[in-house]
Amino acid sequence: MQLKIWFGVCMLTCLVSCQQYQQNGPATTPIPIVRYENNGVNFDGSYRWLYETGNGIQAEESGNVQPAQDPSQSALNVQGGYSYTAPDGTPISVKYVAGPQGFVPVGDHLPTPPPLPPAIAKLLEFLATQPSTPEPAYN
């Protein structure tokens, strides 16, 4: 019984807080969608969508299904991008691909790793030329 009362008080507090936020919160102006296309999902699993808003946000994505290494499975390969203007006025643009290799974004504003030290790069080149040895079998 006490749990029901506690739950009721929590819900009432949340509703009052939401109502106060709506009354005192910042006034917002709806941003229009100026372009929208959605081709849906085709029979082969491919799709494409895009949109553009009145404040300059743009996004698009397309994807298709391809066979995976395992013949009983398939993989979704996606490519797309989005762009907008950051609050400080910087234009942000990201292109990406996604699939079995994971999500790979590319954009001028994204951090990049430092270059490999020459000794490490040389070691990796050497290791790439060596024949692979099979893993030992453990019984």
104-121: per-residue pLDDT in tens? 899 888 888 888 899 998
Classified as helix, coil or strand, 121 is helix
The domains of the chain are located at: 33-102
Span 20-47, mean pLDDT? 81
pTM score, two decimals? 0.59
Q: Judge whether 68 and 57 are in contact, CB under 8 Å.
A: no
Tokens describing residue 64: 């298709």
53 has a pLDDT exceeding 80? yes
Give the span between the Cα atoms of 124 and 37, in whole angstroms: 46
